[in-house]
Amino acid sequence: MSTISTRPAGSTESRSPIGGDAGLRTVRAACPHDCPDTCAMLVGVRDGVAVQVRGDPDHPTTAGALCTKVSRYLERTYHPERVLQPLRRSGPKGSGQFETVSWDDALDDISARLRALAESDPESILPYSYAGTMGFVQGESMAARFFHRLGASLLDRTICASAGAEGLRQVLGGLVGMDVEQFAHSRLIVIWGSNSITSNLHFWSLAQQAKRAGATLVCIDPWRNDTAKRCHLHLQLRPGTDAALAWGVMGELVRNDWLDHDYIQRHTLGFEALRERALQWSAERAAEVCGLEPQQVRELARLLGGTRAAGIRVNYGLQRVRGGGNAVRAIACLPALTGAWREPAGGLLLSSSGHFAVAREALERPDLLGARRPRTINMSTIGDALLHPGGGDFGPRIEALVVYNSNPAVVAPESAKVLRGLRRDDLFTVVLEHFRTDTADHADYVLPATTQLEHLDVLKSYGHRYWVANEPAIAPLGQARPNAEIFRALAARMGFDEACFGDSDETIAAQALAVDPRNAGLDFATLRSRGWGKLAVPDAPFAEGGFPTPSGRCQLAYPPDEQAGRDPLPQVILPYECAQTRPELAARYPLALLSPPARNFLNSSFVNVESLRAGETGPQLLVHPVDAAARGLREGQELRCFNDRGEMRAACRISEDTREGQVITLGLWWRKLSPDGRSVNDLTHQQLTDLGGGPCFYDCLVEVAPA
């Protein structure tokens, strides 16, 4: 059991100047962005102006370093294009023409419009939010209370992680796994579906420590990304074939008896069925499906089978395909078969979220629904939802959309439909934002929100095990208000008089931490003074089994009572769009398109920060030399990348880092900041993953041609 590690008392004062500058006050903050690293930050403030942000050197995973993006947080906060006053639409829908309006007028009108809709059918109102900030206060607390009390439609927040989360839950029982800090001691690290240098930098530092100490690093990714280039082995498989690779490895483990029979017998369920299925998977069969050499499958199995302290860092990159949920299930079986969970530096980490004890009901107050059970809309099919005329199983047409912490005009799949929906003249749209994003341009009202430097919050992490507090460093700029304050004000105008609508941000932050042994010694007051604090969770949480499944065992197969006629074992499900499943489509659109994160952006955030945008030099498309030659494409040339759903333009980059038959473009460019006004999501579709109802961003066929 790790002792609760917090900053020692005595170093808790928040006035310790950086570099001995007496006028400089230091405020403890937390990076709010959707990233596993959730860094502890120190903000230097002079005369009410934030002048410096840096990583907290004492926080074990931040270790004094911020990523390129967040080290520019001041540029983002003080950006000349921040929305600092409420705006009301003054031109046609989607034109981006606005006039300024007072808060009172904006809130009066918005609450009147919502009240009128709620009187006929509150389910015609839909909140749309994701992880613009991961804070509990400015995320789903006051906002959730507001929509629950209203009886609005519920939103299924699937856009990132739901397939993998469900896959992991079925095997391990929740979003639980290794302590990321333990990877520093692993002897083998398998980075599976992640470009860690871009998306999980502080994990990469730990992996580097392990590498220096002699560990072997393996990367499994269809793209030879920056991370793959720095690993000892790279298995550059076809996208969407990870489950087949995992089965190939399991076949080798079984045939060679590289198994921990004692661990399997005591702590797993379904091994006999798994064993039988695994024997059907030769290295050759797996290699054939994955587009690899059989030797590569054998090598991965030999490494996993022969290393106890083997840590698998799975990330969400591999579950954005049709079979993503089952791929995570298959991979999650591996550490139980080899007994890697016995070691603190062995096992697997997809997300650490489930280790946190969060008082969700206190924050979100689902009890405010009373007896009402509103329908749930999947955020990944927002295009179809906005265009639905209403009726039948769908229920009422969506008449009002309230967007906060998200940018659906760019991030959601099949943009043509999302934009057509947002342009409906009869849709009333309110967007809480820092900037005039492509989504905000479609609003009837844009409400100016504060950034992390201007409001209070508390955060957990999905990559490490620390709670991190965020103290406001500066006063809100202009007329900006925290999300929670905006929903509090709307609630007051709607006449919601439950006491919870009077909770201050401090009260909400304190409510977030559940009373639970994992939070022992941690409360918001402590976090506030110390900045962060670690959960009391064992270093090797499943060394003696004790998985949070109903059986307490690692579920290699569904338990008998959950099988209900389905295949109890992880399945191999090929993409919706590939030569095997859609040969006629692949004949017209033969190239698989991947659109993973850009290093200088955070999804669509930071695209408008000039210095970071300059680092990405415009939308680019990586094309394999063979595919380029077949189409007569030249380096640097402007390309048209298209399918039946849409197109985007990008500069041609001929590179052997991609596979033959696969093109790659990075990041989610704002439409209005890309040369052709389009986004990669003009090309993607709204079909959902096998588990969890997630989007299939990396399951998409296209063709390219000179523009």
Instruction: Tell which one of 56, 123, 179, 242 touches ligand MGD (CB under 6 A).
Output: 242
Burial class (CB in 10 A: 0-12, 13-18, 19+), 462: buried
- In the region spanning residues 2 to 41, those forming contacts with ligand MGD, defined by CB under 6 A, are 34-35
Minimal distance in Å, beta carbon 657 to ligand MGD? Answer: 10
- In the region spanning residues 431 to 450, those forming contacts with ligand MGD, defined by CB under 6 A, are 432-435, 437, 449
- Compare residues 382 and 500 and give the one whose CB is closer to ligand MGD: 382
User: Does residue 61 belong to the site contacting ligand MGD (CB under 6 A)?
Assistant: no
Of 337, 242, 335, 260, give the one whose Cα is nearest residue 297.
242
Asked whether the beta carbons of 188 and 409 are under 8 A apart, the reply is no
C-alpha distances in angstroms, 118 versus 141, 144, 403, 429, 431? 20, 16, 17, 15, 19
Asked whether the beta carbons of 171 and 554 are under 8 A apart, the reply is yes
Minimal distance in Å, beta carbon 515 to ligand MGD? Answer: 27
Number of residues binding to ligand MGD, judged by CB under 6 A: 56
CA 665 from centre of chain = 18
User: Does residue 192 belong to the site contacting ligand MGD (CB under 6 A)?
Assistant: yes
Of 669, 597, 623, give the one whose Cα is nearest residue 317.
597
Instruction: Tell which one of 26, 77, 186, 225 touches ligand MGD (CB under 6 A).
Output: 225
Asked whether the beta carbons of 602 and 69 are under 8 A apart, the reply is yes
Q: What is the 3-state secondary structure (H, E, C) of 402-419?
A: EEECCCHHHHCCCHHHHH
Part in contact with ligand MGD (CB under 6 A); list of ranges 222-230, 355-363, 549-557, 611-619: 222-230
Lookup: tokens for 26: 């230091």
Minimal distance in Å, beta carbon 388 to ligand MGD? Answer: 21
> With CB cut-offs between 5 and 8 Å by kind, which of ligand MGD, Mo ion, none does residue 377 bind?
none
Collect all residues with Cβ–Cβ distance below 8 Å to 559 and sequence separation of at least 6.
269, 270, 550, 551
String of DSSP letters for 627-644: HHHHHT--TT-EEEEEET
- CA dist 235 and 313 (Å) reads 15
User: Does residue 407 belong to the site contacting ligand MGD (CB under 6 A)?
Assistant: yes
Minimal distance in Å, beta carbon 667 to ligand MGD? Answer: 7
Minimal distance in Å, beta carbon 193 to ligand MGD? Answer: 4
User: Does residue 160 belong to the site contacting Mo ion (CB under 5 A)?
Assistant: yes
β pairing state of 662-664 and 233-235: unpaired
> With CB cut-offs between 5 and 8 Å by kind, which of Mo ion, ligand MGD, none does residue 599 bind?
ligand MGD
Asked whether the beta carbons of 701 and 684 are under 8 A apart, the reply is no
Minimal distance in Å, beta carbon 556 to Mo ion? Answer: 28
Part in contact with Mo ion (CB under 5 A); list of ranges 156-164, 343-351, 506-514, 529-537: 156-164
**In the 8-state DSSP scheme, what is residue 6?**
B
User: Does residue 415 belong to the site contacting ligand MGD (CB under 6 A)?
Assistant: no
Minimal distance in Å, beta carbon 330 to ligand MGD? Answer: 12
State the residue number with the nearest CB to Mo ion. 160
- In the region spanning residues 310 to 329, those forming contacts with ligand MGD, defined by CB under 6 A, are 315-318, 321
- Compare residues 219 and 340 and give the one whose CB is closer to ligand MGD: 219
- Compare residues 132 and 383 and give the one whose CB is closer to ligand MGD: 132
Minimal distance in Å, beta carbon 674 to Mo ion? Answer: 20
Minimal distance in Å, beta carbon 68 to ligand MGD? Answer: 8
User: Does residue 596 belong to the site contacting ligand MGD (CB under 6 A)?
Assistant: yes
- CA dist 245 and 259 (Å) reads 18
Minimal distance in Å, beta carbon 606 to ligand MGD? Answer: 8
Minimal distance in Å, beta carbon 332 to ligand MGD? Answer: 14
Instruction: Tell which one of 86, 239, 291, 325 touches ligand MGD (CB under 6 A).
Output: 239
> With CB cut-offs between 5 and 8 Å by kind, which of ligand MGD, Mo ion, none does residue 663 bind?
none
Asked whether the beta carbons of 646 and 684 are under 8 A apart, the reply is no
Instruction: Tell which one of 45, 152, 220, 382 touches ligand MGD (CB under 6 A).
Output: 220
Minimal distance in Å, beta carbon 421 to ligand MGD? Answer: 16
> With CB cut-offs between 5 and 8 Å by kind, which of Mo ion, ligand MGD, none does residue 415 bind?
none
User: Does residue 684 belong to the site contacting ligand MGD (CB under 6 A)?
Assistant: yes
216-219 contacts: CB < 8 A, separation 24 or more? 216/187, 216/188, 216/189, 216/303, 216/307, 217/189, 217/191, 218/188, 218/189, 218/190, 218/191, 218/300, 218/303, 219/190, 219/191, 219/192
**In the 8-state DSSP scheme, what is residue 666?**
-
User: Does residue 597 belong to the site contacting ligand MGD (CB under 6 A)?
Assistant: yes
- CA dist 662 and 703 (Å) reads 10
Asked whether the beta carbons of 601 and 607 are under 8 A apart, the reply is yes
User: Does residue 110 belong to the site contacting Mo ion (CB under 5 A)?
Assistant: no
b/e sequence 293-318, b meaning 16+ C-beta within 10 Å: ebebbbbbbebbbebbbbbbbbbbbb
C-alpha distances in angstroms, 634 versus 631, 651, 652, 681? 9, 10, 7, 25
Part in contact with ligand MGD (CB under 6 A); list of ranges 19-27, 297-305, 513-521, 590-598: 590-598
- CA dist 641 and 706 (Å) reads 9
> With CB cut-offs between 5 and 8 Å by kind, which of Mo ion, ligand MGD, none does residue 168 bind?
none
Q: Which amino acid is at 247?
A: W
Number of residues binding to Mo ion, judged by CB under 5 A: 1
User: Does residue 701 belong to the site contacting ligand MGD (CB under 6 A)?
Assistant: no
Which residues would be at the binding site for Mo ion (CB under 5 A)? 160
Residues in contact with ligand MGD by the rule CB under 6 A: 34-35, 130-133, 138, 159-160, 192-195, 198-199, 220-223, 225, 239-240, 242, 315-318, 321, 404-407, 411, 432-435, 437, 449, 483, 594-597, 599, 601-605, 668, 680-681, 684, 697-698
